[in-house]
Amino acid sequence: MARNTYGLDLGSYEIKVYDKKKDVIWKEKNVIAIKEKRDIYAVGDDAYRMYEKTPDSIEVLFPMKEGVITGITNMQFLLQNLIKGEKQFAHGSEYVVAVPTDVTKVQKKAFFDLVIHSTARAKEVNIVERSIADAIGMNIDARNTKGIFIANFGGETTELSVLAGGGMILNRLLPIGGRTYDEAIITLIRNSHDFLIGRHTAEALRRRFEIFKADSDAAFMVSGRDLITGVPMQKAISINLVRAAIRDPLMECIQAISLLMDRTPPEVRNEIHKNGLFLTGGVANTADMDKYIEKNVGIRTSTAIEPEFCSINGLKKIMMSKELRQLAFSMLDDKYRWME
Ligand SMILES: Nc1ncnc2c1ncn2[C@@H]1O[C@H](COP(=O)(O)OP(=O)(O)OP(=O)(O)O)[C@@H](O)[C@H]1O
Ligand SMILES: [Mg+2]
């Protein structure tokens, strides 16, 4: 059995994998469907499609919540099945895993345990802080920058980081992401229209509307259930309702960016004003989100190319380059700062 090296960016919404041997990056939804509480029924994108549509005997589970692993056994099953599906699964592989910074030691160690104690029986596990991977993914010299700000707008988290002087100087993980916006949309539609829509529908609405663009009277027909009659039907939902729903959680992220800037030493803050604020993560695909953030925080803002793949692209570059490899730490290292 040949040994392989995998890069892993485990997101609450999607898992991104870099397979070094095949030199490919792929992603799958971070979802597993279990039948009668024990058999794996479906994994990844197939399991996601079943969400809110399955009979009672099938449970659709999300093994991560707000950026951390909450169901390690399910996460192991899922990962093994996805990697096995690629017919590349091999014992004794190496893993380079992107991890969030602002989490507990136990939560961080779970990323390590996931591959070391599973049947994957990793030979070596190295971790990279996600914002560092994001910077490398955007070709930013993370080791020499005098100041940049990265905001990763993900599926269940928003991770804010200030990088300067060879490392990360400030980091904050907010439990706000695409799912928070979608739940806010569901709640507002329920309260204002007595109409219940599913999570997929809310996500589709958020993604189809160009919420940051000027056009303000668009509307889409969506399927749901009338809560008074109980009858499934379609209703028109306006872009303004979606905007109103996402406003509070989005403003919370924007305020957190400003707060982190206030805590940044003045010389680094000046550098950030010169170099800019960079958006990564899937939600950053939303058209003109960078313009909206730039207007609200007053820092020149740009979006990474394919922002949801930015961290995994960074991991790939780190894995390929001897020099950048130094940005990956072993969790077995005595000096590892989260394990002391
Ligand atoms: N084109 C798009 N427009 C708007 N939103 C999008 C688009 N593509 C993806 N998203 C949203 O991006 C989110 C997923 O982003 P990403 O893959 O970065 O999250 P994740 O890494 O799985 O989650 P996290 O980092 O929070 O644990 C989802 O909420 C999804 O709806
Ligand atoms: Mg992510």
Domains and CATH numbers, the chain: 5-28+65-132+311-330 (3.30.420.40), 142-303 (3.30.420.40)
Write phi, then psi, for 85 (nearest 5 degrees). Answer: -55, -25
> Cα separation of 70 and 10, whole Å?
12
Residue 192 pairs in a beta bridge with none
User: Does residue 194 contact residue 187 with C-beta atoms inside 8 Å?
Assistant: no
CB-count exposure of residue 307 (10 Å: 0-12, 13-18, 19+) = buried
Find, among 166, 167, 132, the residue nearest to 152 by Cα.
132
Ligand nearest to the CA of 206: 1
Looking at residue 85, its pLDDT comes to 55
Q: Tell me the residue type at 205.
A: L
Q: Is 147 in the pocket of ligand 1 (CB under 6 A)?
A: no
For the Cβ of 100 lying below 6 angstroms from any atom of ligand 1, the answer is no
70 close to ligand 1 (CB < 6 Angstrom): no
Integer Cα distance of 293 and 139 in angstroms = 22
Find out whether 209 and 242 touch, Cβ atoms under 8 Å: yes
Q: Are 38 and 44 in contact (CB under 8 A)?
A: no
Which ligand has the nearest atom to the CA of 11?
Answer: 1
Strands 32-35 and 39-43: antiparallel
Nearest CA among 177, 215, 170, 142 for reference residue 65: 177
- Report which secondary-structure segment, H or E, holds 302: strand 301-303
Q: DSSP letters of 8-39? A: EEE-SSEEEEEETTTTEEEEEES-EEEETTTE
d(CA 136, CA 320): 12
Q: Whose CA is nearest to atom 29 of ligand 1?
A: 178
Q: Which residues, in sequence order, are CB contacts of 256 under 8 Å at separation 6+?
A: 158, 160, 172, 174
Which residue CA neighbors atom 21 of ligand 1 most closely? 11
- Please measure the distance between the N-terminal and C-terminal CA atoms of the chain and give it in whole angstroms: 35
Question: How deeply is 304 buried, as exposed, middle or buried, from its count of CB atoms within 10 A (0-12, 13-18, 19+)?
Answer: buried
Residue 13 CA: nearest ligand 1 atom is 22
Cα(160) to centroid(ligand 2), Å: 12
Helix, strand or coil, per DSSP, at residue 179: helix
- 246-250 long-range contacts (CB < 8 A, ≥24 apart) are 246/181, 246/184, 246/185, 246/206, 246/211, 248/184, 249/176, 249/180, 249/181, 249/184, 250/181
CB 308 within 8 A of CB 14: yes
Q: Is 63 in the pocket of ligand 1 (CB under 6 A)?
A: no
In contact, 237 and 189? CB cutoff 8 Å: yes
For position 128, what pLDDT does the model report? 96
CA of 222 to the centre of ligand 2 (A): 28
Ligand 1 atom closest to 100 (CA):
25
Q: Distance from the CA of 154 to the center of ligand 1, in angstroms? A: 5
Residue 157 near ligand 1, beta carbon < 6 Å: yes
Q: Which of 9, 13, 99 to mutate to test the pocket of ligand 1 (most atoms within 8 A of CB)?
A: 13
List the pLDDT tens digit at each of the 340 positions of the chain. 447 899 999 999 999 999 999 999 999 999 999 999 889 999 999 999 999 888 899 999 999 999 999 999 999 999 988 887 554 455 678 899 999 999 998 999 999 888 887 666 678 889 999 999 999 999 999 999 999 999 999 999 999 999 998 889 999 999 999 999 999 999 999 999 999 999 999 999 999 998 998 777 789 999 999 999 999 999 999 999 999 999 999 999 999 999 999 999 999 999 999 999 999 999 999 999 999 999 999 999 999 999 999 999 999 999 999 999 999 988 766 445 444 3
Centre of ligand 1 to C-alpha 220, Å, is: 21
Measured in Å, residue 51 CA sits from the centre of ligand 2 at 20
